[in-house]
Amino acid sequence: GTATCLIVVCVCACVHAPECTDGYHWDPQTEHCKDINECETIPDACKGEMKCFNHYGGYLCLPRSTSLIPAPEPPITPAEPLNPCPLGYEPQGNSCVDIDECERHEHDCQPSQECINSVGAFTCQCPDGYRKVGTECIDIDECRYRYCQHRCVNVPGSFSCQCEPGFQLAGNNRSCIDVNECEMGAPCSQRCYNTYGTFLCRCDQGYELGPDGFECKDIDECSYSSYLCQYQCVNEPGKFSCVCPEGYRLLGTRMCQDINECETGEHACTETQNCVNIHGRYQCVDKNSCQEPYIQVSDNRCVCPVSNPACRELPFSIVHRYMSITSERSVPSDIFQIQATSVSARAYNTFRIRSGDENGDFYIRQINNISAMLVLARAVSGPREYTLDLEMVSINPLVNYQNNYQTSSALRLSIYVGPYTF
């Protein structure tokens, strides 16, 4: 018969794992290429102060201060049927149309990134203030670009500008403009002057700035000098004033002038008295000041009659005069001139202090035959009162050749020394 032979051929096929691109390895469990974490597999992948950041297909070395938004692991999707269209397209009838990966969520953008569809592809856009490095979004340090006039503070995704004290941000939030502290309640107690970036406190006249630079304190001008006022200085807020003692009035702003109460009528003298003005006050003297054996012949003049035996050793006439001088007057000082009113022919006249100068505070300097000067010899302090009898002795040889006829007259001078040097 016919013999049939069956030949069986066995074909052995060796199945190899698919090859992955650099930075990926094949995962037999998921049957997909999986990213290699080089930061774990490569010892000291980054040197110095740099930090290793893994990303798909590689790794990055960035500063440790870098703010990084990590990307999630890409989802593992089941194998899809063969797509005859180019990448980013899908078949629709007999043609290929663009796939909107953003709408279908078929993209690998990070949650912080915005997916933007394009023809045949898509892009992942980082938020404002970040830049894309690989698949990661890294914060942009805007402060490196000197956007701010004074100080820049970088924050993740943004920055802020700050100004130095005395300035404030302008409307563009970058420039700094001067602050007028004087209009914003600067703590100056009196006057405020705005300057660039700060302010200055100043004081009114009569005040000085305190240690804190804000408060003004009164200047005690009276403590600086004893010559500001003739009598007494009185300090007041921001100024000073001069006052005078009783019996004086202020002349200008510093000097004191005696008030003549006899002229102003501010006295208490009676009709039988004369008012004599002296420094700081007045004196009432009797209009008839003649004492026995003298009799009054006119205002201020008394005579002693020659017919009265009691007048033999006394001056024939006495004239009353009054004057006032200040305390501590410089010496020697001429204070009063004596002048003869009537002189006989060829009479020889001498002048002397008859009484009232027991301490020798005065002396007479004769000027000529008819006049002499009363001189203050020593400085005297008041209040004090002197009554000096200034005598003029006249010798006339023609009247009595043998006895040289001698007569005398006196001037009774009342000197009032005021209590002050003015």
**Can you give the residue ranges of every domain in the chain?**
24-62, 96-137, 141-178, 181-218, 221-258, 295-417
Residue 352: beta bridge partners? 391
The Cα angle at residue 97 between residues 93 and 103, in degrees rounded to 5: 120
Distance of CA 50 to the CA centre of its chain: 54
pTM of the full structure: 0.58
> HEC profile for 272-306?
CEEEEEECCEEEEEECCCCCCCCEEEECCEEECCC
> For domain 295-417, which CATH number applies: 3.20.20.70, 3.40.50.970, 3.20.20.140, 2.60.40.60?
2.60.40.60
CA distance 18 to 147: 51
List, as one string, the DSSP characters of 73-107: PPPP-PPPPPP-SPTTEEEETTEEEE--HHHHT-S
* Domains 141-178 and 221-258 agree in fold: yes
CATH topology of domain 141-178: Laminin (2.10.25)
List, as one string, the DSSP characters of 111-178: TTSEEEEETTEEEEEPPTTEEEETTEEEE--GGGGT-SSSEEEEETTEEEEE--TTEEE-TTSSSEEE
> For domain 181-218, which CATH number applies: 2.10.25.10, 3.30.300.30, 1.10.3720.10, 3.30.70.20?
2.10.25.10
The first and second tokens of residue 55, run together, are: 């990303």
Q: pLDDT per position in the chain (422 positions), as tens?
A: 444 444 333 333 334 456 788 888 888 887 778 889 988 898 888 888 888 888 878 888 888 777 766 656 555 555 556 678 888 899 998 899 999 999 999 898 998 899 999 999 999 999 999 999 888 899 999 899 888 999 999 999 999 999 999 999 999 999 999 999 999 999 999 999 999 999 999 999 999 999 999 999 999 999 999 999 999 999 999 999 999 999 999 999 999 999 999 999 999 999 999 999 999 999 999 999 999 999 999 989 999 998 999 998 899 999 999 999 999 999 999 999 999 887 777 788 999 999 999 999 999 999 999 999 999 999 999 999 999 999 999 987 765 544 556 789 999 999 999 999 99
Class of domain 221-258: mainly beta
CATH architecture of 96-137: Ribbon (2.10)
